[in-house]
Amino acid sequence: MASTIGSLGAAEAVLKPFAKAINRPQPERLEVSIHPDDLLAAVRALVDESWGYLSAIVGLDRPGQPVTQGESQAEGAIDVLYLFCSGAAVVTLRITLPYSQAAIPTISGITPTAMLYEWELREMLGVEVIGLRVTGHLILADDWPVGVYPLRKSFTGFNQPVAGAEGA
Amino acid sequence: MAADTNKFVIPIGPQHPALKEPANFEFWVDGEIVTGASVRLGYVHRGIEKGAEARTWTQNLYLMERICGICSHVHATAYTLGVEKLAGVKVPQRANAIRQLMAELERIHSHMLWLGVAAHEGGFDTLFMYSWRDRETVMDLLEKISGNKVHYSANLLGGVKFDITSELAAEIHKGLDFLEERNHFYMKVVTTDETFIGRTQDIGTMTTEKAEFLGAIGPTARASGVARDIRVDAPYLIYDQFPVKVMTHTSGDLHGRFIVRINETFESIRIIREILDHMPQGELTTRVPRRIPAGEVVSRVEAPRGELLYFIASNGSEKPERVKVRTPSLCNWSTVLSLAIGLKLADMPMLLSGIDPCFSCNDRSISLKRGQQGPQVWSWEKLRQYGIEYYR
């Protein structure tokens, strides 16, 4: 456990200049909220320090609260979490993107393993990954409708078979 | 993955004789030599992460187990460990020991399955048939413990369903003795058979630096000297009390991947014997609340193919807010695409199977049942009723 704490401390020191907020949700985890503009620099800083490896990119849809009378509905957002692991230590870079600005730069130029995760994020949650040099679908069917992102909370399935889909 | 349109492209898949699971590869070739490669996944994508958001914490245990028919237990284990951490529940040590025992039995069956597949891809069908015949021994043991050969369903939220009696322990010991002897034979074949060595040595070689750069994990990375294993790096269950040794190899080629996986099978046999001889006493289950407190958790385990990561978010209700599954096969694809370049097209099946790809892992329904009446969309309830009637 001592090495895990030391490892998290080292990551915290590296990421502090970019941090909007820092917390420790679990003893082995460090979570650093950053601005999208700082993403590349923060990832570069971790990689330059040879701190661990990118283990996953997670997208979380957080729709705006339902409309209450007299108030306008808050805009929903997508949280993008970059999980880096080193031994037992897990560092999360958290970026919050409002629906209207759901775009982030690709980190695949710094850590190539990000490419498949970013591709999945774009396809399943509709986050535009600027600079990602792949087109087409990774997981969804070729005839999947444009602009439908299955992991958004607003997607609750198709009531009717999609016109033109295979078998329809 | 950009295509060079001036090159001759060989499309392989999604339905093809080299692999039994669907994926589409495009290899750009110059004569026999591969100059570029790309992959298209998703042919068996089932929308499990989305499905999880509509099911209760308990229902999801069974859903997660169905991500993979080979390593079903490790998926359920990663999920239960994450949910139990969110709930703040401490599971009895005997339950953790049985989970670990099942996980190592599963690793043996997975590695022996892989040995057969990889041998088959190289044209060594006798080895394929031997290893699959012998693998039945570990499948039978799993069936004796749980009643099932594939989806053993040993886990519960808060513990396990099945105990290991002294009679079962004796049978497991007997089975392990047989499996150990057979794996010694496989190791001899793999390291001495001239044609086998010819098909595997110096093929698809990946240096330690390259393995780390490409994000390789599991036995694929360990065969390139990357000593990374979640069982050791971040021990879960009771791997701290019954530790495993990390099996590595320095050759980085296909041959090394065979040696690492066979050595890992020996290590699994050793650890199961230790658990059986020092099984903690106590209860099998503890209570877990139906509503899981709000929060987010990362759960990491070492699946047979490498690090399996679950990210689970709860909103405090009976259903999860989000379950993200990052499976090991996904990490290793980039190694294949990179290593393919410069090799002969004939080496591709073995190179592909060398990472032990699992498409169920990659592709996690939106399903259309085809029939005489044309396509139909079935509701969950209708599908459930159909299943009940079918098996009545």
DSSP B33-93: EEEEEEEE--TT---HHHHHTTS-HHHHHHHHHTT-SSSHHHHHHHHHHHHHHHHT----H
Residue B338 lies in a domain: no
Residue B26 lies in a domain: no
Find, in chain A, the residue whose alpha carbon is nearest to that of B216.
A113
Provide CB contacts within 8 A for B10, sequence distance 6+.
B26, B27, B28, B29, B345
Number of domains in chain A: 1
- What is the domain extent for residue A69? 2-100
Chain A residues lying within 8 Å of B213, measured CB to CB: 112
Considering only the beta carbons, identify the residue of B1, B49, B366 that sits closest to A151: B49
Structure tokens at A84: 């880096």
Structure tokens at B354: 């060398």
Distance between CA atoms of residues B150 and B5, nearest Å: 44
Query: Which pLDDT belongs to residue B106?
Result: 96
User: What does the pLDDT average to over A9-32?
Assistant: 95
Does B366 contact A at CB distance below 8 Å?
yes
Q: Are A84 and A4 in contact (CB under 8 A)?
A: no
CB proximity under 8 Å: B 92-111 to A: none
Higher pLDDT, B12 or A50: A50
Q: Are B142 and B179 in contact (CB under 8 A)?
A: no
Number of domains in chain B: 1
- Chain Cα centroid distance, residue B348: 21
Query: Which pLDDT belongs to residue B318?
Result: 96
Find, in chain B, the residue whose alpha carbon is nearest to that of A58.
B324
Q: What is the mean pLDDT of chain A?
A: 89
A72 min Cα distance to partner chain B (Å): 23
Query: Which pLDDT belongs to residue A168?
Result: 43
Residue A132 lies in a domain: no
Find, in chain B, the residue whose alpha carbon is nearest to that of A154.
B50
Distance between CA atoms of residues B350 and B71, nearest Å: 21
Residue B144 lies in a domain: yes
Q: Are B248 and B227 in contact (CB under 8 A)?
A: yes
Does A93 contact B at CB distance below 8 Å?
no
- Best mutation target among B25, B50, B333, B338 (most A Cβ atoms within 10 Å) is B50
Query: Which pLDDT belongs to residue B103?
Result: 97
Summarize pLDDT for B301-354 with one digit per residue, the tens.
999 999 999 999 999 999 999 999 998 888 887 777 778 888 888 888 777 777
- What is the domain extent for residue B114? 48-331
Residue B265 lies in a domain: yes
Query: Which pLDDT belongs to residue B6?
Result: 63
Residue B376 lies in a domain: no
Residue A136 lies in a domain: no
CB proximity under 8 Å: A 103-162 to B: 111-113, 115-117, 124, 133-134, 136-141, 150-151, 153, 155, 157-158, 160-161
Residue B373 lies in a domain: no
**Any idea what the CATH number is for the domain that residue A40 is in?**
3.30.460.80
Q: Which residues of chain B have pLDDT under 70?
A: 1-6, 17-19, 358-378
Distance between CA atoms of residues A47 and A41, nearest Å: 10
**Range name among A54-63, A97-106, A112-121, B283-292 with the lowest pLDDT average:** A112-121
Residue A144 lies in a domain: no
Amino acid of residue B366: I
Q: Are A116 and A93 in contact (CB under 8 A)?
A: no
Query: Which pLDDT belongs to residue B370?
Result: 40
**Any idea what the CATH number is for the domain that residue B208 is in?**
1.10.645.10
Considering only the beta carbons, identify the residue of B42, B49, B233 that sits closest to A87: B233
C-alpha closest to that of B287 among B159, B164, B187, B121: B159
Does B38 contact A at CB distance below 8 Å?
no
CB contact under 8 A, B309 and A28: no
Considering only the beta carbons, identify the residue of B41, B85, B215 that sits closest to A54: B215
φ/ψ (deg, to 5) at A133: -95, 50
Query: Which pLDDT belongs to residue A68?
Result: 67
Q: Between the CA of residue B328 and those of A97, B65, B217, B356, B360, what are the distances in Å?
A: 28, 15, 7, 10, 11
CB contact under 8 A, A29 and B298: yes
Residue B116 lies in a domain: yes
B387 min Cα distance to partner chain A (Å): 22
> pLDDT confidence of A70, banded at 50, 70, 90?
low
**Range name among A54-68, A152-166, B290-304 with the lowest pLDDT average:** A152-166
Is it the case that residue A163 has pLDDT exceeding 70? no
C-alpha closest to that of B130 among B172, B201, B181: B181
Angle at B321 between CA A148 and CA B290, to 5 degrees: 145
Torsion of CA B3, B6, B7, B11, to 10 degrees: 60
What ipTM score was computed for the predicted complex, to two decimals?
A: 0.92
CB proximity under 8 Å: A 24-83 to B: 25-26, 28-29, 53-56, 58-61, 81, 83
Residue B143 lies in a domain: yes
Considering only the beta carbons, identify the residue of A54, A112, A138 that sits closest to B42: A138
